[in-house]
Amino acid sequence: MRVLFVTNDRVGRQRAGPAIRCVELAKVLSRHHQVTMASGLSGDAEIPGIQLIFDGLANPSRLREAARRSDVVVTQGLVLDFFPFLRRSSSYLVIDLYDPYLFEHLAPVGHRFAQWRYLRQWHLLNEQLRHGDFFLCANERQRDYWLGRLCALGRLNPEEYSRDPSFRELLAVVPFGIQSTPPQHTQRVIKGVMPGISEDDTLLLWAGGIWQWFDPLTLIRAMSLIPEDQKVKLLFMGTRHPNPEVPEMPILNECRKLARELGVLGRNVFFREGWVPFDERQNFLLEADIGVSAHANTVETRLAFRTRVLDYIWAGLPMILTEGDYFADFVVRENVGRTIPPGDAERWKREIITLATNQSLRQEMRLRLGPWRQQFHWDRVAEPLIRYCQHPQRVTRPSTLQMRIARLLSPAYRQLLHLRRRSGCAS
């Protein structure tokens, strides 16, 4: 089969989550099928065995021709908005819904037209749900959410039920994954290299960006409560998204301002400028002692699947996370870290000191993480997509005409039921 992956993220040496997922799934599928990968933006990546198409927004003709020649097209994010011809191609259309990004747009970013932007995203998302032949999500929580949305759009119908009552052939769980090759430390990048961070410090690593729907402020407050003689340092690894279309969010300046006010900026809280190249992130992960991630109690948290936490698993890092998301439950269940109630800086302080001063406890957690690495290898998590591409099939969906007729018939049907009840009472 000829499979085309399309992303609007930048595919280069520096990659964020959407591009990482697109590249890694394409690499797995390329062992079974002929794979092309396209990005709407420029890029500098080279991936053996995969044809790459860049600058799709500036020159969509190559992408249009690739879609015409493909049997299966896999999209993510707002790809169909930028390239609407993809949904009109004769190919089977796979929509990757691993990131329920609609909830990210609920976070306040000071945008003048935030309400209209949210409604536009909502409409575009519904259009994708109407046109897809097969859908992917990252975990069972997300699957429940997407099943509800698909049902509301008439995609869960009697014809599909008769084919597959579980609807797994319509909506499958394909988590974000990790590389099967263990990380290797090739050069020192933090300890003894970055001013203010020594080789004997205990290093907390915030892998990934600082986005508006996270809560790094509570973590910074906790760092201000930790005595200096504990020699605990916190590094935010990424501050500028590799996709130039993604603007800097207000939360980043709030973090720097708070760290400065509390007197911890450059003392035990550090911000690395830019974005770490994908193939170099292992050096940062392997020099860290504890992986951290903090968020507020929001609907985004409930459905999130934090890709940065997978990097902690890949590197065998004990974790401290805020309660409420998928990986917080994982950390508690497998005893590979600690979880904190949202907004509790004092509790963050206590748990940081506990793990920082207990190397044997951290080592036990590292050992427990070991068996879990293979559970998230890309080869394993991609199996539902591999199976679909081997035997793709179209699914039944209500037409626009059918939906309109249903709306028109609804009052008449209610009136018929009313008359039948009255007739039954009279008899």
Quick: pLDDT tens for 318-336: 999 999 999 999 999 999 9
Q: Which pLDDT value is given to residue 147?
A: 97
* CA separation for the pair 53, 51 (Å, rounded): 7
Q: Which pLDDT value is given to residue 395?
A: 79
pLDDT tens for each residue of 260-269: 999 999 999 9
Tell how strand 337-340 and strand 319-322 pair up: parallel
Least confident of 10-14, 64-68, 126-130, 171-175: 10-14
DSSP structural state of residue 86: G
pLDDT tens for each residue of 219-255: 999 999 999 999 999 999 988 888 777 778 899 999 9
Q: Tell me, which fold does domain 2-177+379-396 have in CATH?
A: Rossmann fold (3.40.50)
Q: Which pLDDT value is given to residue 232?
A: 97
Least confident of 41-45, 169-173, 278-282, 380-384: 41-45
124: CB partners within 8 A, 6+ apart: 78, 80, 81
Q: What angle do CA 48, 51, 55 make, to 5 degrees?
A: 120
Count CB atoms within 10 A of the CB of residue 196: 13
- Which token pair is 253? 């300046």
On average, the pLDDT of the chain sits at 90
Share of the chain above pLDDT 70, in %: 91
Spell out the domain ranges in the chain.
Answer: 2-177+379-396, 202-376
Supply the pTM of this predicted model: 0.89
Count CB atoms within 10 A of the CB of residue 383: 12
Confidence of residue 46 (pLDDT cuts 50, 70, 90): confident
Confidence of residue 398 (pLDDT cuts 50, 70, 90): low
Q: What angle do CA 404, 398, 385 make, to 5 degrees?
A: 150
- Which token pair is 204? 């907390």
CATH H-level, domain 202-376: superfamily: Glycogen Phosphorylase B; (3.40.50.2000)
Span 261-278, average pLDDT: 94
Q: What angle do CA 385, 389, 390 make, to 5 degrees?
A: 115
Q: Which pLDDT value is given to residue 186?
A: 94
The yes-or-no answer to whether 2-177+379-396 and 202-376 have a common fold is yes
42: CB partners within 8 A, 6+ apart: 10, 12, 54, 55
Model confidence at 50: pLDDT above 80: yes
The amino acid at residue 77 is G
Share of the chain above pLDDT 90, in %: 70
